[in-house]
Amino acid sequence: VDHTLTVHPGRAGPAIDRTMYGVFFEDINNAADGGLYAELVRNRSFEFSTTDNRAYTPLTAWRETSHGGATGTVRVVDDAHRLNERNRAHARLDLSGGGAPGSGYGLVNTGHGPGVALRAGARYDFSVWARTDQRRGTRLTARLQDAAGAALSEPLTLTVRGDRWAKYTGTLTARAAASGARLAVTAQGTGVLRLDMVSLFPRDTYKGRPGGLRKDLAEKIAALRPGFLRFPGGCLVNTGSHQAYEAPNWERARSYQWKDTIGPVEQRAVNANFWGYHQSYGLGYYEYFQFAEDIGAMPLPVVPALVTGCGQNRVTDDPALLRRHIQDTLDLIEFANGPVTSPWGRKRAEMGHPRPFGLTHLAVGNEENLPDAYFERFQQFRAAIEAKHPDVTVVGNSGPDDSGTTFDRLWRLNRDAGVAMVDEHYYNGPQWFLENNERYDAYDRGGPDVFLGEYASRGDRFSNALAEAAFMTGLERNADVVKMASYAPLLADVGENQWRPDMIWFDSTRSWGSTSYEVQKLFMNNTGDRVVPSEATGTPQSAAPITGAVGLSTWATSAAYDDVRVTGADGTTLLADDFSAGDGRWTRAAGRGTWSVRDGALVQSDETAQDTLVTAGDPSWHDYDLRVKATKKAG
């Protein structure tokens, strides 16, 4: 075959914006607590609950300890002595004394994942909020130790005085490196000692910010040189209840509401995370804006549209609540851009950033599967924002898939209303990315610009990264309509994750980029100013795969059904999935997938099936008449 590449340097292709490639941060796979947020203590404010995760207790990651024969009891309580209305639970230690002089009773924190990571000789900022009923005070000792209790630092001794909450701080220096260390906090004497917000941060955070970000992870993200930072989700944003935090009967599993996440960390709300764990909100909106600024990226927040997405498919029909969320969004813009004399601009200044953050884009909603309900609410947000901030681009979205009725309907609604930019998402197999390199060549230029806010080729192979790279040439070639693109998800804890593939992996001490990370880095660090038109001949043509349709969409199945069975026309079971057991997620593209059968099981070609089949020496594809049988969840 004759391969020819013809380049036309004299012809002007589309300009490529500096913001073309960026990153999407969502707190999935422990990306925030135990990930980018450098706090080393897990469950620092004793707020873990079974609503976050059925396996949690208020003492998750904590255990009792005593030395020298001291005794006592510990309970987590939410009583009138609480730290504040939003930080309600705290540890109450009833100290019985006893034991040898210098003995102590208290708690040990086991940290995130395998434990607290320490670097030999490094300094760590310890802090705790405490109060005591002892008139002469209570001596409190903090120290680092290994899992067996051997000391890894000198003890830090503080005296807690008075029965009002106060913050006590000090520094611990690690004697040796460790990946599974613990923080022990013990007290001497008798009486009632109350502890909350027990915290340990490495001194060496990204840009040295106290209470800041884990350096290796932040540096890996910064090394991409992203043009924008989309945050904080994803499904995290618009799932759960949209009610505000209201003490004392506050609802867990609320949508991500930015006001919960700013101000002093001990006064922030906490929340259950859609991905099955707890959010401390220590990494909140101020920190996101600050991080975007630090890495030279345009901040792009996403707010909930009051239509719950990601399989929950619920419309909140409450005009007053909608008005409140719209006002919150206007307040968010003021928090980002307002002068220090404005109410929310002042809060930004109080947190340490008098200068505006320069917000220019804001997205409303994420993957709503109810196009009309979503769009009606989106338009109300948009009208209010544009009336007050005509310079802010309000980004819509096109639902959970790259095609299909939701996509078509939303795309048209956005086009007809003159929406400037729409967020598209797709997670498909590498073959799909190769076959869709030309997706945007014939894209209707009469509609909104494309913000490809989430995409990845499913699989963990080098070929996935190559397929993404090939696809990205198609994005860039169409830079007149594809304005921004971000791979997803960004971060994943090797010990606990809910989604694969991911761009940057970490454990407590190490982090590394996937091959997709290297592709993203290559594109982001070498973004041109303008496309130079070219064409190629003799490029390989892929054979069209055989397709079969299955009638349930991914999120619909996981949300509504306990058990799903896909059978061939002859009744053979091709795929069975019990959603009551796992985390309730099936592959994305059900409903429009490309299917094959291997070892008696149904496989989607737009997973990693095709190359597996080829290497197994069986490239054959079979067309199946597929039937879906599903058991609806009770209630």
Interface residues toward ligand AHR, by CB under 6 A: 26, 28, 233-235, 310, 366-367, 425, 454, 488-489, 499
Q: Which of 470, 485, 462 is nearest to 402 (CA)?
A: 485
How far is 385 from 337, CA to CA, in rounded Å?
A: 13
602 alpha-carbon distance from chain centroid: 30
Closest separation in Å from C-beta 256 to ligand AHR: 11
Whether cis (ω within 30° of 0) applies to the bond prior to 232 is yes
DSSP helix/strand/coil, 323: helix
How far is 167 from 411, CA to CA, in rounded Å?
A: 52
How far is 80 from 164, CA to CA, in rounded Å?
A: 12
- As a residue count, the chain comes to 635
DSSP helix/strand/coil, 330: helix
Closest separation in Å from C-beta 487 to ligand AHR: 9
Crossing angle of helices 405-416 and 371-388, rounded to 10° = 30
Helix (H) / strand (E) element for 307: namely strand 307-308
Task: Specify which residues 394 forms β-bridges with.
Answer: 362
Which residue lies nearer to ligand AHR by CB, 74 or 503?
503
Which residue lies nearer to ligand AHR by CB, 29 or 316?
29
Closest separation in Å from C-beta 301 to ligand AHR: 14
Closest separation in Å from C-beta 501 to ligand AHR: 10
Which residue lies nearer to ligand AHR by CB, 24 or 289?
24
Told to judge if 367 belongs to the known catalytic residues of this protein, a careful annotator would answer: yes
Find where tokens 């080829």 sit.
614
Which residue lies nearer to ligand AHR by CB, 233 or 345?
233
Which residue lies nearer to ligand AHR by CB, 367 or 424?
367
Q: Out of 26, 287, 334, 367, which one is annotated catalytic?
A: 367
Q: Which of 392, 393, 394 is nearest to 377 (CA)?
A: 394
Task: Specify which residues 254 forms β-bridges with.
Answer: 241
Cα–Cα distance list, 250 to 3, 51, 167, 279, 616 (Å): 65, 12, 26, 15, 54
CA angle 260, 262, 265 (to 5 degrees): 95
Whether 31 and 491 have beta carbons less than 8 Å apart is answered as yes
Which residue lies nearer to ligand AHR by CB, 264 or 582?
582
Q: Which residues are catalytic?
A: 367
